[in-house]
Amino acid sequence: MLGVTIIQGIGRSSSMIMKIKELHVVHKSKFQEIIIAEIEEFGLSLILDGYIQSTQADEFIYHESLVHPSMVLHPNPMKVLIIGGGEGAALREVLKHNTVNNAVMVDIDEDVVELSKKYLYPIHQGSFFDKRAKIVIEDGKKFIEEAESGSFDVIILDLTDPYSSDIAKQLYTTDFYRKIYSVLTDDGVMVTQAGSSFFYRDVYMDVYQAVKSVFNYVLEYQVWIPSFGYSCNFILGSKKYNPMMLKPEDIDTILKNRNVTTKFFNGYKYLSFIYGGIY
């Protein structure tokens, strides 16, 4: 018997049907529809406007792949900015680095943050309450426009996809990346999640070209996320350090020296990122 199901958007005309075990929240915020549910095979999950954002079963693959390449490329990331990341998992990964003394997370939707705090502890694991963390409820575009130059060593853009809700679209543009560039320190590193280059190649290429037009070094990589139904793309931009020069053994040493434990990411995974190609 087909019980309650969720239709997870994948491409323009492709979806995945997932069986819901328990529905915790269905809420329309000022910005998006928020669902928090227990999904068979994936566990506790956050869904925004019909797109899966994080599931307990595989979010670590996404968040470790999003956060750690940029954090290990920078030799001493102390001040880190996350834009988006409402469920607190990118923040959790950033705070693992013992170099970090100031992690600012800016999300436009207070309801996502408050509902995540309440229902998604297995995902945020208390990151919101770390004394180094500062949570700001604001449009990331406005925050960046008002931020001082050279404020952050690493900036992580963990936004909804560039082709889903309208609220994030302006944060995938050349103009926005130029502002990110100035808010970064002279040796700063930025990374953005960029959805699927397979199902939305046109949109993805626009984002890639936008990053490429601003940063000296650009690395694109992707990783399969079972609950997304596609390989999720990431685009890293670096002002000074060449991401192709990072060696696996150096990455593992950096993670060890910074007391960073991971379930998925390591030096050899990074090799698969840089030589894995994009499709």
Among 9, 69, 77, 85, indicate the residue that binds ligand SAM (CB under 6 A). 85
Residue 61 in tokens: 């693959």
Nearer to ligand SAM, 145 or 250 (CB): 145
Do residues 105 and 134 touch, judged by C-beta distance below 8 A?
A: yes
Task: Indicate whether 158 belongs to the interface with ligand SAM (CB under 6 A).
Answer: yes
Among 93, 109, 153, 220, indicate the residue that binds ligand SAM (CB under 6 A). 109
Q: Residue 87, annotated ligand binder?
A: yes
Closest separation in Å from C-beta 186 to ligand SAM: 25
CA distances to 120, 163, 206, 215 from 90, in Å: 13, 21, 24, 22
Task: Indicate whether 108 belongs to the interface with ligand SAM (CB under 6 A).
Answer: yes
Task: Indicate whether 87 belongs to the interface with ligand SAM (CB under 6 A).
Answer: yes
Residue 111 in tokens: 């309801």
Nearer to ligand SAM, 156 or 214 (CB): 156
Neighbours of 252 (CB within 10 A): 15
Q: Residue 277, annotated ligand binder?
A: no
To the query of whether residue 158 is one of the catalytic residues in this protein, the response is yes
Q: Which of 58, 111, 153, 158 is catalytic?
A: 158
Give CA 234 to chain center in angstroms.
8
Q: Residue 8, annotated ligand binder?
A: no
Q: To 5 degrees, how large is the angle CA 144–CA 137–CA 100? A: 65
Give CA–CA dist 192/44, Å, rounded.
24
Give CA–CA dist 24/250, Å, rounded.
43
Task: Indicate whether 73 belongs to the interface with ligand SAM (CB under 6 A).
Answer: no
Binding site residues, ligand SAM, CB under 6 A: 46, 48, 53-54, 62, 83-87, 106-109, 112, 139-141, 158-161, 167-168, 171, 193
As annotated, the binding site for S-methyl-5'-thioadenosine includes 32, 107, 139-140
